């Protein structure tokens, strides 16, 4: 949802309030470790954290040169989110040398793998960030948008620790403006 202050035609910075919500299902974070030992045995372990997240956010940005061919903006925002029904997958792969008895004493490398799934705790997140971006008007009502959000956040694992982190998010998109807009677009340069 987007709210834009009415303009009188003489403002250089136009405030815009954004309110939103989202649900992300099956978001993955993967970390892998591996080791080759002196006896040529190999071990690797991969952790895959899969979470489902609901998010509510609010932002205010100020646009400069609004409704021109190129619009730049910046502001600040905050969001609250919670993850639920999380799983941690642990994949272990390793080789080891075994000596088999039979007609000959032979050393043979054996490949082993083991998979485990653990139920993850719910997590609550709070973030404060600064969005900066640029819009390029493609057609009379259509703009291409590139935006970067950087900030800090806290996460509270239910039954666990409280941690802080640095966040960054890069977005591309298209924006369609329904309002009457007579400013020429980039496409008018080629007509």
CATH code of 157's domain: 2.40.160
Residue 168 has a pLDDT of 93
- Token digits for 23? 């649900």
Contact 89, 48 (CB under 8 A): yes
Return the number of other C-beta atoms located less than 10 Å from residue 39's C-beta. 8
pLDDT of residue 166: 95
Range of the domain at 23: 2-190
Report the pLDDT value the prediction gives residue 19, as an integer from 0 to 100: 92
- Residue of 115, 128, 8 lying closest to 75 (CA atoms): 128
pLDDT of residue 105: 54
- Residue 189's region, left for phi above 0, alpha for psi from -120 to 50, else beta, is alpha
58 pairs with which residues across the strands? 19, 78
150-181 as b/e: b if 16+ CB within 10 A: ebebebbeeeeeeeeeeeeeeeeeeeeeeeee
What is the rounded CA–CA span in Å between residue 93 and residue 91? 7
Residue 151's pLDDT is 96
Strand segments, DSSP code E, in the chain are 2-4, 13-36, 42-64, 70-100, 106-120, 123-137, 142-157, 162-176
Q: How many domains is the chain built from?
A: 1
Residue 151 Cα distances to 26, 76, 156, angstroms:
24, 9, 17
Q: Do 82 and 123 meet the contact criterion of CB atoms below 8 Å apart?
A: yes
> Pairing relation of β-strands 13-36 and 2-4?
antiparallel
Along the chain (191 residues), what's the average pLDDT of each consecutive run of 10 residues?
57 83 89 76 83 93 79 94 91 65 54 79 94 89 92 93 93 81 55 50
Beta bridge partners of 151: 129, 167
Q: What is the pLDDT of residue 115?
A: 81
């Amino acid at each position: 949802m987007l709210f834009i202050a009415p303009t009188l035609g003489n403002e250089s910075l136009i405030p815009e309030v954004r309110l939103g919500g989202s649900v992300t299902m099956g978001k993955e974070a993967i970390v892998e470790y591996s080791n080759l030992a002196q006896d040529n045995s190999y071990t690797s372990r991969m952790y895959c954290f899969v979470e489902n997240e609901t998010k509510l956010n609010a932002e205010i940005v100020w646009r400069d040169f609004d409704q021109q061919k190129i619009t730049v903006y910046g502001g600040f925002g905050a969001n609250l989110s919670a993850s639920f029904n999380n799983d941690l997958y642990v994949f272990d792969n390793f080789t080891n040398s075994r000596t088999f008895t039979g007609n000959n004493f032979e050393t043979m490398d054996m490949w082993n793998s083991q998979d485990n799934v653990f139920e993850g705790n719910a997590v609550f997140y709070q973030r404060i960030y600064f969005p900066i971006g640029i819009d390029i008007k493609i057609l009379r009502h259509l703009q291409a948008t590139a935006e970067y959000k950087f900030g800090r956040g806290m996460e509270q694992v239910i039954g666990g620790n409280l941690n802080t982190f640095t966040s960054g998010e890069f977005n591309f998109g298209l924006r369609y403006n329904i309002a009457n807009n007579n400013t020429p677009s980039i496409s008018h340069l080629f007509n």
